[in-house]
Structure 1
């Protein structure tokens, strides 16, 4: 690659129609790192009297970045998604067009995602780390849909999704001060418990 030439090969999975939440988060982080995210938000608006010169300068900077931001968005799409941005000329237009199609905040989407959360159950032999990762992913999807659970409720939902082999650990956690039962603490205890079981399994088979 020639000096000064910038690569826009996206380092994450392209938008395919079913991964909007993950794609949009990673696209934003990547564009922010490239200094291009502001182009997706459109030209800056004048926020205060006497700021016209600053706003004009910011608008010019955003305009210069727009072709790169638009190109990056298009290159991060699977072929099936390209018709959604065909003919659009700015990064803001492209991002908003994709958002209108994929970012559902309807009652149906909220119900479907909430149901998927409560259907997540740890089965004997499943990886607790993978189970926790799945639950955290659904919590985040619900947050994007403006469905928010308190930290305390997230902990209770997670613990209620475990199989009976974790009953003793749950009893120990239930005896603690609820203020200490953060999601980070509980997930750490669960992962520690899984690691302990794996060590015992290796020792028993050795």
Structure 2
């Protein structure tokens, strides 16, 4: 019993009404890992009829158990304020769809709020570049779910413009590259390599240059 309880302690932030994009992505990944995601995509098999074949009985029981586990996991991953949305629902599909109807919004307000978060993200001097990149990519994905799509080229420019001034030389080294070569994958790889180099050299990330936000001139 202790093992069962531990396995259904969801390892991510609960749904609180403000984090649908991140919550739904992590819930899906977690349910997939547990072999339960399919329970949210359709109703469980009905109870077997009297005289049903043993294989049909086993399949129905397995489907019902999977539904119960998935439904329980969904409920356990909700803050108290969200529980009324799934009260009385008996299947994981019903619960997930009820939450999706309420929270999967594409309103202007949600788009503005998330876009503002993106452009307010700045790497502090000495900050962890890998964590910063991961957080920015997560917000890009939230915006995609809200149907706000940036081109890869623009994502690169937004990412580079969020770096602190100690990354100025790295930015300058990429200025002459064509947009076709300056891909998001390439840039994140270069930033990861730079993080490793700084760790090896014991650098804190402080620098004297103007940074990618500075427009290329020296600070005055």
| TM > 0.5 | yes
Contact preservation (8 Å) 1:16, 1:77: yes
Q: Which residue pairs with 2:108 in the alignment? A: 107
Q: State how 1:119-198 maps to structure 2 within 5 Å.
A: 119-198=120-199
CA distance in 1, matches of 2:139, 2:196: 24
Q: Which residue pairs with 1:15 in the alignment? A: 15
Cα distance, 1:148 vs. partner? 1.4
CA distance in 1, matches of 2:31, 2:66: 11
- TM-score of the aligned structures, taking structure 2 as reference length: 0.73
Cα distance, 1:165 vs. partner? 2.2
Cα distance, 1:68 vs. partner? 2.6
Return 5+ residue gaps in structure 1 as ranges: 45-58
Q: State how 1:46-125 maps to structure 2 within 5 Å.
A: 65-125=66-126
Cα distance, 1:138 vs. partner? 0.8
Contact preservation (8 Å) 1:38, 1:62: no
CA distance in 2, matches of 1:192, 1:23: 30
Q: Which residue pairs with 2:30 in the alignment? A: 30
CA distance in 1, matches of 2:163, 2:78: 37
Distance verdict in 2 for CA 1:86–1:2, change over 3 Å: closer
CA distance in 2, matches of 1:35, 1:91: 13
Distance verdict in 2 for CA 1:164–1:70, change over 3 Å: same
Distance verdict in 2 for CA 1:9–1:197, change over 3 Å: closer
Contact preservation (8 Å) 1:43, 1:63: no
Count of aligned residue pairs for this structure pair:
191
Contact preservation (8 Å) 1:39, 1:63: no
